[in-house]
A = this chain, B = another copy of it.
Amino acid sequence: MKKTRNTRQRGVILDILQETREHPTAEKIYQDARRVIPNISLGTVYRNLNFLQDQGLVREIRPCDGGSTRFDGVLDSHAHFHCTRCGALLDISLPQGFEQLQLNKMDGISMISSIDLHIIGECSNCSEEGSGSTH
């Protein structure tokens, strides 16, 4: 297999993802990265995100309610909560009993590599504000 190089761009992108729990989009990562490497290009960001995903260092989350792909650099197992009002995408702990679910041998499944749990609803912030605000 071919050798990979440690470029500044790649390092910065990975750092950004590992230091936030905001699940940024590629565009947001691009903007953050430009504060460090002003002439980094969006194409490079995408190429590295794909690369890091292939390496298993990062994973992508596709918001259930449309919008662009977001990325997650925190690999502890956790679920995601999507707020339909403000669009927030939050890490949440796996519900009690989740690990014990009978997951194997279901239907036509022969091997499970990962399980994604997405909870869609309203976050406390939005609910506290009554029915008006959109963020």
Contacts and interface: CB of A to CB of B under 8 A. Distances in A.
Interface residues of A, number: 42
B116 A122 contact: no
A135 B102 CA distance: 27
Interface stretch (A12-20, A22-30, A36-44, A90-98): A90-98
A60, A96, A107 — most chain B CB neighbours (10 Å): A107
B62 A116 contact: no
A100 B98 CA distance: 10
A125 B121 CA distance: 35
Interface in A46-79: 60, 62-64, 66, 69
Given A63-B62, A95-B101, A121 B112 contact: yes
B102 A81 contact: no
Contacts of A106: 81, 92-93, 95, 119
15 contacts: A62-B62, A62-B63, A66-B69, A81-B109, A92-B109, A93-B107, A95-B103, A103-B119, A109-B123, A112-B120, A113-B120, A113-B122, A115-B119, A116-B120, A117-B117
